[in-house]
């Protein structure tokens, strides 16, 4: 009896010692709102307890997160686990060496829960730099109530939408428009049109240069100009008259004066909530131009979880990531606070539990079903986006012709990309 | 001071000295070095000599535009604000009923003025369906596109700055109250009218304070950020894109720290030169009591 007790004591001590040897203290950083913060902290507590690690949360709002992350990465003080926006991957890790290569942890992380395409999108120079959290894309959403009032069905292609604009203006007033093409949308719509007509993404993956010719881009710019001329959307100048505000904050949106937009599927409720009781927001299939060779869906991982290449506890961090994204307790605690999960088991678990609202699933299905070339993360490079937008603004204000705007865009995009030549 | 006391004094001063060196002097000097480098934060700074400055003055249209907008903003805002602050201070210098209430009421905007909340409020007041256009509409005037028209947008931002005249006004008020009353009595004996009294007694005697306010307001105007960032985000067509916004975008959106540092140093040099010019010119128009020239 005495020997059994001694044996059990030694065993217990050894187990405790083993747990404390494996226990790691980690840091994790992310951006988001209140619900995401709460859910993530709860999930970290559960996963931390499961694996015997302590994870210190570091969370902020979206604004300033990129600046903070960049400063931390530059100073080598980044958290062990980081939430990284997908278009930032080439900024931090163009050669794939900015973050830990998660392929090294395939024994710890169940990578089979992601499709090859999803993993490819998060792979830089052959190294898996992050685990995609959700796949998102731009989708057209229309206020069906406004279209009903005008006696119209929701549009199925661009020519129908252009024809609808005249009817909406006639029946609902000259300050009514079926679509909002302002802020970032002139850029995204021009990209969409050029992609639909050419079948190519803006950046040629083979050369890492602008894929569209001057003529192709000029035609797409003109298409945007035509949308303004035909009152499909209000002009840039008219939009700017409201000051620097978001569409979903504008009374023109909530009052139905603007009856549609082209937004991330995951932001559906941001636009639907202001219409509550006044309108029904319906996501529709991609609108196509005549002669389109593809739907040109703009689909990409919304964000990834990455592990610091400097972390001394990479394996522990990998265990936590696996728990958050592929294990039941982590998935349930994290919920849908980062959109419909990219991880198959996470998506299924949340849908079975009824956590993901059907409207979000419906918008996401359109994105997932759409056809189009793989989108380069350079499309959202801050300088590329800014120079594209500046040129289109000049066009919108009559300072540039369509051809001059296209020429300016091509020159600037190539100039920026040139800096990334290996 | 004895040896031990000297060390004790230095010990008391050390938090400030360390703070000054670490958080002001070092970044100041380092940013000068960075302005000659290509530095994206993710790699070590790479020395490029005068490339950043050459690019700024020869190939950067955005810088040209931003510089022009900044100068227009400073040279329109500062005189307007000073004249308005002095005008209100003169009124509030009279012995009126409830004068303390009015003094407080006029000062309040400058407490709130620099805040994000007021910038947001300004955005709503001047929006196409905002209060100003509603009032214009009520008197039969067609609404104005304040933010969407490049010619109006800067004016709207300028108005916000002028509206924050309280701190300059309070300083003017203190100066006005410090003017020797016997000079006014002498002027009354000589039958001077109110304008003559203001022009020949009040104004010369408060020139040191006008000079102080001119310098302070100019420096602040050159550094304006919140208003245009929140209200127009620098648009439309960069018509409200002041240099601090450009520095912010280059540094924290594009991560071109070297280039942003070069712009910051140009801004610093401009402020410096204008301040030196102001000090030089002050010999000709600022009157100090006891000055031997007087």
SS3 for chain A is CHHHHHHHHHHHHHHHHHHHHHCCEEEEEEECCHHHHHHHHHHHHHHHHHHCCEEEEEEECCCCHHHHHHHHHHHCCCCCEEEEEHHHHHHHHCCCCCECCHHHHCCCCCHHHCCHHHHHHCEECCEECCEEEEEEEEEEEEEHHHHHHCCCCCCCCHHHHHHHHHHHHHHHCCCCECCCCCCCHHHHHHHHHHHHHHCCCCEECCCCEECCCHHHHHHHHHHHHHHHHCCCCCCHHHHHCCCCCCHHHCHHHHCCCECEEEEEHHHHHHHHHHHCCCCCEEEECCCCCCCCCCCCCCEEEEEEEEEECCCCCHHHHHHHHHHHHHCHHHHHHHCCECECECCHHHHHHHHHCCCCCHHHHHHHHHHHHCCCCCCCHHHHCHHHHHHHHHHHHHHHCCCCCHHHHHHHHHHHHHHHHHCCCC
Cα-based distances in Å from A264 to A64, A188, A196, A295: 21, 11, 18, 16
Q: Which residues have C-beta within 8 Å of that of residue A69, sequence separation ≥ 6?
A: A29, A78, A82, A84, A88, A92
Choose among A92, A241, A386: nearest Cβ to B145: A241
Q: Where are the beta strands (DSSP E) in chain B?
A: 37-38, 46-47
Give per-residue pLDDT as tens, B40-78. Answer: 887 889 999 999 999 999 989 999 999 999 999 999 999
**End residue of a domain, out of A327, A346, A368:** A368
Closest CA to B148 of A251, A239, A248: A239
Q: Decide which of A367 and A7 is more confident.
A: A367
In this structure, the answer to whether residues B22 and B152 fall within a common structural domain is no
Choose among B41, B145, B230: nearest Cβ to A244: B230
In this structure, the answer to whether residues A43 and A63 fall within a common structural domain is yes
Q: Say how far apart CA B78 and CA A150 lie, in whole Å.
A: 52
Closest CA to A143 of A166, A169, A176, A171: A176
What mean pLDDT comes out for the span A262-285?
93
Query: Residue B224: phi, psi to the nearest 5?
Result: -60, 135
Helix (H) or strand (E) holding B232: none
Total domain count, chain A: 2
In this structure, the answer to whether residues A213 and A149 fall within a common structural domain is yes
Residue A7 has pLDDT above 70, yes or no: no
End-to-end distance of chain B based on CA atoms, in angstroms? Answer: 40
pLDDT at A417: 94
**B291 within some domain:** no
In this structure, the answer to whether residues B157 and B245 fall within a common structural domain is yes
Q: Looking at the complex, does the CB of residue B8 fall below 8 Å from at least one CB of chain A?
A: no
Closest CA to A31 of A68, A4, A56: A68
pLDDT at A339: 84
Interchain proximity A243–B147, CB inside 8 Å: yes
**A385 within some domain:** yes
In this structure, the answer to whether residues A265 and A414 fall within a common structural domain is yes
CATH number of residue B195's parent domain: 1.10.3720.10
Q: Decide which of A3 and A175 is more confident.
A: A175
In this structure, the answer to whether residues A319 and A376 fall within a common structural domain is no
In this structure, the answer to whether residues B179 and B272 fall within a common structural domain is yes
In this structure, the answer to whether residues A393 and A358 fall within a common structural domain is no
Q: Say how far apart CA A43 and CA A83 lie, in whole Å.
A: 15
**A272 within some domain:** yes
Interface test with A, best of B147, B160, B248, B259 (most A CBs within 10 A): B147
pLDDT at A16: 46
DSSP-derived letter for residue B143 is: P
Choose among A91, A240, A399: nearest Cβ to B235: A240
Q: Looking at the complex, does the CB of residue A388 fall below 8 Å from at least one CB of chain B?
A: no
Q: Looking at the complex, does the CB of residue A54 fall below 8 Å from at least one CB of chain B?
A: no
In this structure, the answer to whether residues A149 and A273 fall within a common structural domain is yes
Give per-residue pLDDT as tens, A212-232. Answer: 999 999 999 999 999 999 999
pLDDT at A280: 95
Residue A62 has pLDDT above 60, yes or no: yes
What mean pLDDT comes out for the span B249-256?
88
pLDDT at B96: 79
**A5 within some domain:** no
Choose among B62, B148, B252: nearest Cβ to A240: B148
pLDDT at A17: 45
Q: Decide which of B289 and B38 is more confident.
A: B38
Q: What is the mean pLDDT of chain A?
A: 92
Q: Which residues have C-beta within 8 Å of that of residue A226, sequence separation ≥ 6?
A: A162
In this structure, the answer to whether residues A125 and A172 fall within a common structural domain is no
**B258 within some domain:** yes
In this structure, the answer to whether residues A313 and A386 fall within a common structural domain is no
**A12 within some domain:** no
In this structure, the answer to whether residues B111 and B247 fall within a common structural domain is yes
Band (pLDDT 50/70/90 cuts) for residue A19 is: very low
Band (pLDDT 50/70/90 cuts) for residue A416 is: very high
In this structure, the answer to whether residues B223 and B139 fall within a common structural domain is yes
**B261 within some domain:** yes
Choose among B147, B233, B252: nearest Cβ to A241: B147
Q: Give the structural domain span for A342.
A: 25-136+301-368
Band (pLDDT 50/70/90 cuts) for residue A117 is: confident
What mean pLDDT comes out for the span B135-141?
93
pLDDT at B99: 83
CATH number of residue A382's parent domain: 3.40.190.10
Q: Looking at the complex, does the CB of residue B1 fall below 8 Å from at least one CB of chain A?
A: no
**A334 within some domain:** yes
Band (pLDDT 50/70/90 cuts) for residue B114 is: low
Interchain proximity A382–B254, CB inside 8 Å: yes
In this structure, the answer to whether residues A345 and A380 fall within a common structural domain is no
Interchain proximity A91–B42, CB inside 8 Å: yes
Looking at the complex, report in whole angstroms how far the Cα of residue A380 sits from the nearest Cα belonging to chain B. 12
In this structure, the answer to whether residues A77 and A208 fall within a common structural domain is no
- Residue in the block written with tokens 């927001």: A281
**A17 within some domain:** no
Q: What is the mean pLDDT of chain B?
A: 90
Give per-residue pLDDT as tens, A323-380. Answer: 999 999 999 999 988 888 999 999 999 989 988 888 888 999 999 999 999 899 899 9
pLDDT at A4: 56
Cα-based distances in Å from B257 to A269, B32, B37, B42, B43: 37, 11, 8, 11, 11
DSSP-derived letter for residue B41 is: S
Q: Decide which of B19 and A61 is more confident.
A: B19
pLDDT at B106: 80
Contact by Cβ (8 Å): A411, A234:
no
Cα-based distances in Å from A176 to A169, A179, A202, A276, A287: 6, 9, 32, 19, 20
**B45 within some domain:** no
In this structure, the answer to whether residues A112 and A214 fall within a common structural domain is no
Residue A115 has pLDDT above 80, yes or no: yes
Cα-based distances in Å from B156 to A281, B62, B139, B211, B227: 35, 21, 21, 26, 10
Band (pLDDT 50/70/90 cuts) for residue A30 is: very high
Percent of chain B residues topping a pLDDT of 90: 70
Copy the structure tokens of residue B258. 């070297």
What mean pLDDT comes out for the span A279-291?
95
**A16 within some domain:** no
**End residue of a domain, out of A368, A390, A408:** A368
Total domain count, chain B: 2
**A97 within some domain:** yes
In this structure, the answer to whether residues A121 and A141 fall within a common structural domain is no
**B292 within some domain:** no
In this structure, the answer to whether residues B7 and B71 fall within a common structural domain is no
pLDDT at A5: 55
**B40 within some domain:** no
Residue A20 has pLDDT above 70, yes or no: no
Query: Residue A94: phi, psi to the nearest 5?
Result: -60, -35
Q: Bridge partners of A300? A: A136
pLDDT at B293: 52
Q: Which residues of A touch B252 (CB under 8 A)?
A: 66-67, 70
What mean pLDDT comes out for the span A64-89?
92
Band (pLDDT 50/70/90 cuts) for residue B138 is: very high
What mean pLDDT comes out for the span B29-33?
96
Helix (H) or strand (E) holding B7: helix B3-19
The distance of Cα B45 from the centroid of its chain, to the nearest Å, equals 32
Coil, strand or helix at B37: strand
Q: Which residues of B touch A242 (CB under 8 A)?
A: 127-129, 147
Q: Say how far apart CA B248 and CA B251 lie, in whole Å.
A: 5
pLDDT at A15: 46
The distance of Cα A421 from the centroid of its chain, to the nearest Å, equals 26
Q: Which residues of B touch A241 (CB under 8 A)?
A: 127-128, 145-149
In this structure, the answer to whether residues B9 and B109 fall within a common structural domain is no
Residue of B nearest to A235 (CA): B148
Contact by Cβ (8 Å): A271, A142:
no
Residue A422 has pLDDT above 70, yes or no: no
Q: Give the structural domain span for B17.
A: 1-28
Copy the structure tokens of residue A169. 């203006």
Q: Say how far apart CA A364 and CA A263 lie, in whole Å.
A: 12
């Amino acid at each position: 009896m005495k020997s059994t007790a001694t044996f059990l004591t030694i065993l217990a001590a050894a187990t405790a010692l083993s747990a404390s040897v494996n226990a790691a203290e980690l840091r994790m950083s992310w951006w988001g709102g209140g619900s995401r913060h709460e859910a993530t902290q709860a999930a970290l507590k559960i996963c931390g307890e499961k694996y015997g690690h302590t994870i210190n949360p570091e969370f902020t709002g979206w604004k300033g997160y990129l600046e903070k992350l960049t400063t931390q990465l530059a100073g080598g003080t980044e958290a062990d686990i980081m939430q990284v926006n997908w278009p930032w991957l080439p900024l931090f890790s163009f050669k794939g060496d900015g973050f830990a290569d998660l392929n090294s942890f395939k024994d710890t992380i169940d990578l089979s829960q992601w499709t090859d395409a999803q993993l490819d999108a998060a792979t830089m120079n052959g190294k898996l730099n992050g685990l995609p959290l959700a796949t998102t894309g731009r989708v057209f959403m229309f206020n069906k109530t406004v279209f009903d009032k005008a006696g119209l069905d929701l549009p199925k292609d661009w020519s129908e939408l252009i024809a609808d604009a005249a009817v909406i203006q006639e029946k609902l007033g000259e300050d009514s428009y079926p679509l909002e093409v302002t802020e970032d949308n002139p850029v995204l719509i021009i990209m969409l049109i050029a992609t639909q007509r050419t079948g190519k993404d803006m950046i040629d993956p083979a050369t890492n240069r602008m894929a569209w010719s001057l003529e192709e881009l000029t035609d797409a710019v003109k298409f945007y100009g035509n949308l303004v001329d035909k009152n499909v959307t209000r002009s840039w100048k008219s939009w700017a008259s409201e000051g620097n505000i978001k569409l979903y904050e504008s009374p023109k949106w909530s009052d139905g004066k603007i009856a549609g937009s082209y937004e991330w599927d995951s932001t559906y409720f941001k636009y639907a909530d202001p219409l509550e009781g006044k309108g029904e927001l319906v996501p529709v299939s991609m609108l196509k131009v005549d002669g389109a060779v593809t739907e040109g869906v703009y689909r990409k991982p919304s964000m990834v979880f990455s592990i610091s290449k400097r972390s001394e506890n990479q394996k522990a961090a990998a265990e936590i990531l696996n728990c958050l994204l592929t294990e039941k307790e982590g998935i349930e605690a994290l919920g849908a606070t980062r959109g419909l999960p990219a991880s198959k088991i996470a998506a299924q678990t949340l849908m079975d539990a009824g956590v993901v609202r059907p409207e979000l699933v419906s918008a996401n299905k359109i994105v997932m079903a759409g056809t189009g070339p793989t989108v380069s993360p350079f499309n959202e490079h801050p300088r590329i986006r800014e120079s594209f937008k500046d040129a289109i603004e000049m066009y919108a204000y009559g300072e540039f012709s369509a051809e001059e705007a296209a020429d300016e865009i091509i020159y600037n995009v190539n100039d920026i990309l040139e800096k990334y030549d290996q | 001071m004895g040896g031990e006391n000297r060390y004790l004094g230095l010990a008391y001063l050390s938090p400030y000295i360390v703070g000054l060196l670490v958080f002001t002097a070092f970044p100041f000097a380092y940013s000068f070095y960075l302005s000659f480098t290509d530095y994206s934060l993710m790699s070590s700074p790479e020395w490029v000599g005068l490339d950043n400055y050459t690019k700024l003055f020869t190939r950067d249209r955005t810088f040209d535009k931003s510089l022009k907008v900044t100068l227009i903003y400073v040279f329109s805002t500062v005189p307007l604000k000073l004249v308005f602050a002095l005008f209100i201070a003169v009124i509030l210098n009279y012995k009126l009923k409830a004068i303390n209430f009015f003094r407080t009421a006029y000062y309040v905007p400058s407490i709130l003025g620099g805040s994000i909340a007021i910038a947001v409020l300004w955005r709503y007041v001047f929006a196409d369906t905002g209060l100003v256009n509603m009032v214009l509409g009520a008197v039969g005037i067609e609404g104005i596109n304040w933010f969407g028209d490049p010619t109006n947008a800067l004016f709207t931002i300028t108005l916000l700055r002028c509206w924050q005249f309280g701190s300059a006004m309070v300083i003017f008020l203190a100066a006005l109250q410090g003017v020797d009353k016997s000079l006014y009595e002498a002027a009354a004996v000589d039958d001077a009218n109110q304008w003559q009294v203001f022009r020949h007694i009040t104004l010369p005697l408060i020139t040191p304070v006008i000079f102080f306010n001119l310098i302070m307001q100019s420096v602040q105007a050159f550094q304006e950020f919140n208003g245009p960032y929140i209200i127009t985000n620098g648009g439309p067509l960069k018509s409200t894109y002041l240099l601090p916004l450009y520095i912010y975008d280059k540094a924290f959106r594009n991560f071109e720290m070297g280039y942003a540092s070069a712009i910051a140093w140009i801004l610093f040099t401009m402020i410096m030169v204008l301040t030196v010019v102001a000090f030089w010119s002050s010999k000709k128009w600022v009157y100090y009591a006891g000055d031997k020239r007087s």
